[in-house]
A and B are shown apart, each in its own frame.
Chain A
Amino acid sequence: MTTYIMRRLVQAVFILVIVTLIVFFVMRLLPGDPIIIYVAQSAQLEAMPPEMVDELRHKFGLDQPIIMQYFNWVGNIFQGDFGESIFYHEKVGTLMLERFPVTAHLGILALIVGSITGLIAGLLAAVRRGKWIDKIITPLTYIGITIPVFFAAILLIYTVGLRLGWLPISGYTSPFKDFWLSTRQAIMPVFCLAVFSIAANARQLRSSMLEVIGQDYIRTAWSKGLCERAVILKHTMKNSLIPVITLIGLGVGMIFGGSVLVETIFAIPGVGRLMVSSIFGQDYVVVQAITFVIAVIVLLVNLFVDISYGWLDPRIRYG
C-alpha cells in the first residue's frame, strides 16, 4: 500500500508540473504582446507611450527569457501571490479567498446531495429491478444525465421561483449571517449542480449492483439464510461502491464546470461567476489564477480517489 501511495504521489507531482505549464502557456497563446495579460485591453496599450510599455514590461518581468518568466510565475504562486486583478484593483489571492468559500459551500452541498440521493436511488432501482420504483427511477436518471444545467435552472426558476413563488430566484447569503435565507437561496442552485451527479451515481450503482448480485458469493449469502438487509448492504453494496467512487471524483470537476453556469444564472458571487466576468472583462490574471486553482483541486480530489480506490480494491493496488 505504501509503494502504491508513493507512486501515486510522484505521479501527482509530475501532473501538477504539467498543469502549471499548460496554464502558463495557454495564456501566452493570446494574440499580440503578452503584456496584454497584465494591462487591460489592447486599445489602452496602443495609447501608451512606448517607454511606459517598456517600463511595465520590466515591472512584470516580461523582458526576461520565457523560461525565467515561467519560473517566476510558479515561484510567486507557491508563495500565494497570484498577481493583481486589473478590474478589481485587488490581489487575486484576496479576491479568490472571498469567492471560493461561496462556490465551496454550494459545491460541497451539491456533492453530498448528489452522492446520497444518487446512491439511494440506485440502490432502490437495483434491489427492486423491474418493479414500479425502478421504472420511475431509471427514466429519471436518463433525464438527469442529459438535461443541460441551465435548463434545470430555468425550469426551477420558472416553476418554483416565479409561478409558485416558493424560493428566491437569485442571490447568495452566507449561512453564518442568515441560515434560513441562505438555505432557501441555496436549494435551487445546489439541485442544479447535483442533478447530473444524482443521475450518474444512481445509474452506475444500479448497473454495478446488478452485476454483483449475480455473483456466486451473493447466492451463498442468501443460502446461508442472511436477511435481505445484510445481503444487500454488507455483501452487495460494498463491492458495488468501488466504481461509484471514481464517479464522485469526476463529480467535483463537473460541479466546477456547472458552477460557471449556475452562478451566472442565479447571480451568485462565487468563483464561477468571477471567471465568466473576468473572461469578458479580459482580466487574464484572474482567469489564469482561477483555472490553476480549480485544476489543482481536481488533481487533489483525483489523487484522493485513486488512493481510496487502491485501499478498497487490492487488485488495483498490485496491478
Chain B
Amino acid sequence: MVEESAVMMEFQEASPRVSEWRRFRRVFLSRGVVVFGLVVLIILFLVAALAPWLAPYDPYKPATGKSLEQPNIEHLLGTDILGRDTLSRIIYGSRTALMVGFISVIIASIFGVTLGIIAGYAGGVTNMLIMRTMDALLCFPMLLLALVVSAVLGGGISNVIIALSVATIPGYARVTCGVTMSIKENDFILAGRAMGASDTRTMFRHILPNAFPPLIVLMTMQLGALILAEAGLSFLGIGIEPPGAAWGAMVNDGYRYLLKNPVLSFAPCIAIMLVVFAFNMVGDGLRDALDPRLRGLL
C-alpha cells in the first residue's frame, strides 16, 4: 500500500495538468498594457450601452448662446459651434464607432472565412481565382476603396459599413485559406471522410475550428483599424448624417475653430486613439495567449 501510494504521488507529480483556460488567463493578463486595453474596452462598452443615462446633455439639440464655450464645470469639454455639449457627443459617438466596427467585422469575416475555406479546401483553379481576387482587392488602400465604394453607393452609415467590410474581406480569406491548406492534410480529416463526413461538414466542423485562434486575433485588430478608417471617412464628411455624432466628423467640425477652442477637435481624437490602442493591445494579448508556438514559453 505504502509503495503504491508513493508511486501514485510520483506519477501525479510527473504530469502536472495545466488547464487551458487558466493558462490563457495567465498569459493574457500578464501584461499591463493588455489589462489597460481590456479596461478601456469594458468602459467603452458600458459608455456606449448607457449613453442616454451618462450623457449630461442632449447631443443633438443646439443651444443658442452657448456656442464654442471653453471647458467649464457645466460643460466638461466645452461646446461646439451649435452649443452642443462635446462630452455628450463623444459619448454618443462611441455608439457609431462600435456599431460600424462590429457590423463590418461580422460581415467581412463571414464572407472572408467562407471564401478562404472554400479556396483552401478546393485548391486548384478555385483557389487561384478566389485568392487572386483577394490579392486584387488588397491593391486598393483600405481608405481609398472605402471612399470609392461609399461614393458610388452614396453617403450614409450603412454604405460605410458595406465599404469597410469589402475592404477587409481579404485578410480573413488569407488567414482561413492558409489554415485550411495546412489542416486538410491531417489524418483526422481523412478519418472523418472515411466515416462519411460530407465536404461541408469537413470544412465547417473539422477544419474551421482550427482557424478560430488566428481569426479572433485578426478580428480584434481589425476592429481598431476599422474604427480608425471610419473616423477618417467621417472626417472627410462621408458616413453619418448630421446631427448624428461620429468622432471623425466632430474633429472636422472642431478643426475650423482650432485656435478658439482646440479641445473641440482634440477630445474626439483622443477618444479614437484610446479605443484603437485598446483594441490593438487586447489583440496583442490574445495573440500571445492563443499562439500554440508560444506554449511552454509563456
User: Which B residues between 226 and 250 are near A, CB-CB below 8 angstroms?
Assistant: 228, 231-232, 235-238, 248
B235, A150: Cβ atoms under 8 Å? yes
Please tell me which one of the listed residues A19, A146, A284, A296 contacts residue B273 in the complex, with CB atoms under 8 A apart.
A146
CA distance A30 to B138 in the complex (A): 22
A302, B142: Cβ atoms under 8 Å? no
A148, B136: Cβ atoms under 8 Å? no
B143, A157: Cβ atoms under 8 Å? no
A150, B149: Cβ atoms under 8 Å? no
Contacts of B140 in A (CB 8 A): 22, 291, 294-295, 298
Please tell me which one of the listed residues B248, B255, B277 contacts residue A146 in the complex, with CB atoms under 8 A apart.
B277
CA distance A14 to B276 in the complex (A): 35
Contacts of A146 in B (CB 8 A): 224, 228, 273, 276-277, 280
CA distance A287 to B139 in the complex (A): 16
Please tell me which one of the listed residues A16, A19, A30, A154 contacts residue B265 in the complex, with CB atoms under 8 A apart.
A154
Residue A261 lies at the interface, judged by CB distance under 8 Å to chain B: yes
CA distance A172 to B289 in the complex (A): 48
Asked whether A27 and B143 contact (CB < 8 A) given A148-B272, A149-B232, A162-B258, the answer is no
CA distance A261 to B251 in the complex (A): 12
Residue B195 lies at the interface, judged by CB distance under 8 Å to chain A: no
Q: Could you tell me the distance in whole angstroms from the C-beta of A29 to the nearest C-beta in chain B?
A: 5
B273, A148: Cβ atoms under 8 Å? yes
A18, B132: Cβ atoms under 8 Å? yes
Please tell me which one of the listed residues B142, B152, B224, B262 contacts residue A30 in the complex, with CB atoms under 8 A apart.
B152
The residue on A at minimum CB distance from B279 is: A146
Query: Interface of A with B (CB < 8 Å)?
Result: 11, 14-16, 18-19, 22, 26-27, 29-31, 142-143, 145-151, 154-155, 157-158, 162, 253-254, 256-258, 260-261, 264-265, 275-276, 279-280, 284, 287, 291, 294-296, 298-299, 302
Query: Interface of B with A (CB < 8 Å)?
Result: 33, 128, 132-133, 135-145, 147-149, 151-154, 224, 228, 231-232, 235-238, 248, 251, 255, 258-259, 262, 265-266, 269, 272-273, 276-277, 280-281
- Give me 10 other A-B pairs in contact (C-beta within 8 A), A22-B137, A142-B277, A148-B232 excluded: A11-B135, A19-B139, A146-B277, A151-B251, A151-B269, A154-B269, A155-B266, A260-B147, A261-B143, A298-B139
